[in-house]
């Protein structure tokens, strides 16, 4: 076996070789980094230039769009004025076409008060309404506010997806809505100047550099200085699209068979790439690295010889004794002390090691003292693979609900303690990060547990957060309830429906039932809002009593005002479900609600429902259909009641 000096020499030689390799690696790394930083700097400068061009083009485009928007609105006003003076022209397509040509618009559409196209220059659009698509739905607010004058951005129209700019406003009489559409030819021409392929034609890249403009989603190259790349995808060129999107500091890729360094940036919604060939930079780096390696080899040989001599004479013996003492300490023998006084450095090292050991012995006591000065129920523990028992502060047994041995510093065994922690981790609290439930007797407590491991050592902290978690749970519960009636609000209903529809087998045959209290405004106006609230509670009481008679299950919520929703579900078939739905008629116009002052009123409400089809997993459509039928029921009941009030006072 070689002696210590030989080993030191061997180790130093290996270390020196490693250091030399590392230095060479760092040298190469920084050279490559310098080249890459140059590429990134040039790329950013070019990207900035492109961005400035796009900014100037956008300013021109915004100015032109503003002119078009103002122009379309003025034309709509002009047409509304003409039709207001000549109402018979509304129904004459030829006359409307003549007016369109006169005011220089491409389309005229006339909407009735319900937002449906009833006339215009394009008969194919008759019957479209503000509910038929996102584009036409932009003008839906006109139905609520007749003072609005709306201009829409250039958008593909609903019928044939042609890019158009529309504006709309009410006629002065308020009988119809005028909408005009213009094909924005000049705007589209300026928009083309914002295309990166056009901008590339204005730029000149450095030698060995290619520019690419790609679609962010598909990676398809829309424009490039390399014309052969247009129409290909980034993957076909050798560039990973995900890396191009997420790596802001540049990356390597083999592009068209050549090693390259790439920098990509998102400009104006497109992915723009700056790709530089690395062949020239690589030759320079190899030449410089060879010269650096020769110098490092000479320095390394001199260093190994010098350090070996010094280590053998002044250090090796002292290190051996320190190592023996530290070996005992790391095995858990904290009573071991180090006493090496061969020189000043080893003397100070011995004192520091002994002080460190004493500090370790008292650390648990100090932590417990500090934590006891706070109002928080916090505990800290630590252990390692070399320790048989866990060290913890005095609150840990109380928080984790286990009996502590007599020695609090080295208490529970490591395996037993680990089993307690693993059992706690098996009960995470939903919606709470790092918090777990702990059942103790008839109550449940909530414990925050965090651990950090370094090598074989593990340190953890436990905090009893029972009160805080219960407070948050109560707040969350109250947010889902209507404060007046105590039933679910719309937020609570949405949460409950979303949970149910995650498992359609729980829903089975189901339906949405919309209920609207009739006459609430009359009661508020005549009897006061206090009695109006009693009327609303009366509706809830009637619906709750009705729900208790159902064969299936139900959810009841108040959507606000006088509107209520019932979701009936878990029925075996539609016949049973319909029978229960029709049974609600027993509560229409038959129940009474006690008012203040000893009077009572008859309870009236309108009803609409919608059955869920087997394949439907989105309940939004059920709401819409049920709401339409409920308003049909309200109109029919109003017609049957004539001009009478929706409620009657009883003695």
DSSP string, 487-542: SB-HHHHHHHHHHHTTSHHHHBEEEEEEEEETTHHHHHHHH-HHHHHHHHHHHHHH
Question: Which structure tokens are listed for 418?
Answer: 């680990």
Q: Please give the distance of CA 164 from its chain centroid, rounded to a whole number.
A: 33
pTM of the model: 0.37
Pairing of strands 563-571, 592-594: unpaired
How far is it, in rounded angstroms, from Cα 449 to Cα 84?
A: 74
Walk me through the domains of the chain, giving residue ranges and CATH numbers: 374-470 (3.30.450), 480-650 (3.30.70.270)
How far is it, in rounded angstroms, from Cα 409 to Cα 365?
A: 8
pLDDT tens profile 315-342 = 666 676 777 766 655 544 455 677 777 6
Q: Pick from 159-168, 474-483, 516-525, 569-578 the range whose average pLDDT is largest.
A: 569-578
How far is it, in rounded angstroms, from Cα 90 to Cα 76?
A: 14
How far is it, in rounded angstroms, from Cα 644 to Cα 639?
A: 10
Contacts of 208 by beta carbon, 8 Å cutoff, 6+ apart: 276, 277, 279, 280
Q: How confident is the model at residue 169 (pLDDT cuts 50, 70, 90)?
A: very high
Neighbours of 220 (CB within 10 A): 15
How far is it, in rounded angstroms, from Cα 587 to Cα 589?
A: 6
Per-residue pLDDT for 428 more than 80? Answer: yes
pLDDT at 11: 75
Q: How confident is the model at residue 196 (pLDDT cuts 50, 70, 90)?
A: low
Q: Which residue has the higher pLDDT, 292 or 198?
A: 292
How far is it, in rounded angstroms, from Cα 558 to Cα 555?
A: 10
Q: How confident is the model at residue 596 (pLDDT cuts 50, 70, 90)?
A: confident
Cβ–Cβ < 8 Å for 505, 558: no
pLDDT tens profile 46-55 = 778 777 777 7
Taking CA atoms, 634 is separated from 217, 601, 627, 646, in Å, by 49, 19, 11, 11
Cβ–Cβ < 8 Å for 157, 135: yes
Cβ–Cβ < 8 Å for 139, 158: no
DSSP string, 450-494: EEEEETTEEEEEEEE-HHHHHHHHHHHHHHTB-TTTSSB-HHHHH
Contacts of 118 by beta carbon, 8 Å cutoff, 6+ apart: 110, 111, 112, 126, 176
Q: Among 51-60, 64-73, 634-643, whose mean pLDDT is lowest?
A: 51-60
DSSP string, 599-619: -EEE--EEEEEEEPPTT---T
For range 473-479, the mean pLDDT: 74
Give, as one character, the DSSP assignment of residue 164: E
Closest CA to 134 of 110, 150, 160, 157: 157
Per-residue pLDDT for 14 more than 90? Answer: no
Residue tagged 């109380």 (tokens)? 398
Q: How confident is the model at residue 183 (pLDDT cuts 50, 70, 90)?
A: confident
Q: How confident is the model at residue 647 (pLDDT cuts 50, 70, 90)?
A: very low
Q: Among 192-206, 251-265, 282-296, 465-479, whose mean pLDDT is lowest?
A: 192-206
DSSP string, 32-48: HHHHHHHHHHHHHHHHH
How far is it, in rounded angstroms, from Cα 201 to Cα 206?
A: 14
Pairing of strands 117-120, 107-111: antiparallel
pLDDT at 210: 84
List the strands of the sheet with 649-650, edge to edge.
Answer: 592-594, 600-602, 649-650
Residue tagged 């060879």 (tokens)? 290
pLDDT at 201: 56
For range 162-172, the mean pLDDT: 86
Number of H helices, E strands in the chain: 19, 23
How far is it, in rounded angstroms, from Cα 563 to Cα 545?
A: 17
Element at 203 (helix H, strand E): none
Q: Please give the distance of CA 647 from its chain centroid, rounded to a whole number.
A: 48
Pairing of strands 457-464, 443-454: antiparallel
pLDDT at 276: 87
Terminal alpha carbon distance of the chain: 114
Question: Which structure tokens are listed for 509?
Answer: 């045959």
Closest CA to 24 of 285, 280, 306, 301: 285
How far is it, in rounded angstroms, from Cα 291 to Cα 271?
A: 41
List the strands of the sheet with 509-517, edge to edge.
Answer: 553-560, 563-571, 509-517, 605-611
Cβ–Cβ < 8 Å for 268, 54: yes
pLDDT tens profile 185-195 = 655 554 554 55
For range 167-175, the mean pLDDT: 90
Cβ–Cβ < 8 Å for 213, 223: yes
SS3 per residue for 236-271: HHCCCHHHHHHCCCCEEEEECCEEEEEEEEEECCEE
Q: Which residue has the higher pLDDT, 478 or 444?
A: 444
Closest CA to 8 of 319, 467, 371: 319
Q: How confident is the model at residue 572 (pLDDT cuts 50, 70, 90)?
A: very high
Residue tagged 């989105």 (tokens)? 618
């Amino acid at each position: 076996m070689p002696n210590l000096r030989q080993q030191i020499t061997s180790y130093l030689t290996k270390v020196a070789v490693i250091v030399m390799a590392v230095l060479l690696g760092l040298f190469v790394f920084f050279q490559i980094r310098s080249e890459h930083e140059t590429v990134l700097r040039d790329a950013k400068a070019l990207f900035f230039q492109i961005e400035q061009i796009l900014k100037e083009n956008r300013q021109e485009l915004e100015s032109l769009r503003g002119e078009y928007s103002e122009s379309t609105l003025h034309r709509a006003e002009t047409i509304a004025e003409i039709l207001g003076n000549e109402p018979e022209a509304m129904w004459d397509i030829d006359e409307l076409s003549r007016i369109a040509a006169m005011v220089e618009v491409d389309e005229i559409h006339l909407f009735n008060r319900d937002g449906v196209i009833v006339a215009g220059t394009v008969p194919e659009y008759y019957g479209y309404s503000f509910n038929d698509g996102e584009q036409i739905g932009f003008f839906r607010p006109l139905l609520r506010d007749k003072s609005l004058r709306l201009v829409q951005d250039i958008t593909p129209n609903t019928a044939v997806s042609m890019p158009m700019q529309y504006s709309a406003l009410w006629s002065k009489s308020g009988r119809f809505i005028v909408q005009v559409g213009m094909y924005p030819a000049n705007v589209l021409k300026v928009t083309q100047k914002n295309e990166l392929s056009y901008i590339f034609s204005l730029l000149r890249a450095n030698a060995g550099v290619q520019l690419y403009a790609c679609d962010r989603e598909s990676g398809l190259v829309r424009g490039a200085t390399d014309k052969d790349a247009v129409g290909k995808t980034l993957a076909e060129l050798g560039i990973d699209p995900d890396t191009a999107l997420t790596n802001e500091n540049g990356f390597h890729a083999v592009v068209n068979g050549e090693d390259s360094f790439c920098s990509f940036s998102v400009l104006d919604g497109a992915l723009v790439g700056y790709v530089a060939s690395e062949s020239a930079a690589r030759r320079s780096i190899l030449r410089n690295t060879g010269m650096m390696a020769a110098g490092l080899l000479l320095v390394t040989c001199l260093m190994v010889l010098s350090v070996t001599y010094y280590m053998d004479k002044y250090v090796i013996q002292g290190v051996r004794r320190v190592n023996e003492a530290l070996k005992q300490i790391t095995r858990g023998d904290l009573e071991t002390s180090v006493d090496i006084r061969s020189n000043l450095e080893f003397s100070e090292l011995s004192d520091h090691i002994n002080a460190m050991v004493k500090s370790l012995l008292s650390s648990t006591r100090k932590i417990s003292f500090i934590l006891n000065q706070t109002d928080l129920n916090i505990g800290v523990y630590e252990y390692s693979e070399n320790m048989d028992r866990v060290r913890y502060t005095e609150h840990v047994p109380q928080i984790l609900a286990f009996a502590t041995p007599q020695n609090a510093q080295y208490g529970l065994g490591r395996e037993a303690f680990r089993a307690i922690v693993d059992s706690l981790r098996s009960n995470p609290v939903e919606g709470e990060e790092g918090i777990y439930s702990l059942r103790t007797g008839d109550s449940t407590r909530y414990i925050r547990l965090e651990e950090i491991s370094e090598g074989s050592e593990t340190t953890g902290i436990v905090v009893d957060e029972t009160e805080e978690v219960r407070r948050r749970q109560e707040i969350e519960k109250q947010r889902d309830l209507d404060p007046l009636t105590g039933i679910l609000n719309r937020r609570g209903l949405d949460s409950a429906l979303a949970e149910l529809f995650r498992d359609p087998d729980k829903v089975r045959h189901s339906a949405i039932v919309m209920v609207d209290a009739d006459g609430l405004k009359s009661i508020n106006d005549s009897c006061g809002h206090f009695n109006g609230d009693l009327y609303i509670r009366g509706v809830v009481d009637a619906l709750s009593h009705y729900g208790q008679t159902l064969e299936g299950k139900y959810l009841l919520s108040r959507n606000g005002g006088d509107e209520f929703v019932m979701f009936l579900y878990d029925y075996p078939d539609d016949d049973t479900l319909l029978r229960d739905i029709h049974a609600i008629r027993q509560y229409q116009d038959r129940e009474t609600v006690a008012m203040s002052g000893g009077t009572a009123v008859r309870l009236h409400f309108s009803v609409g429902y919608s059955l869920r089809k087997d394949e439907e997993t989105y309940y939004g459509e059920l709401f819409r259909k049920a709401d339409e039928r409920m308003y049909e029921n309200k109109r029919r009941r109003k017609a049957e009641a004539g001009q009478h009030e929706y409620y009657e006072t009883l003695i």
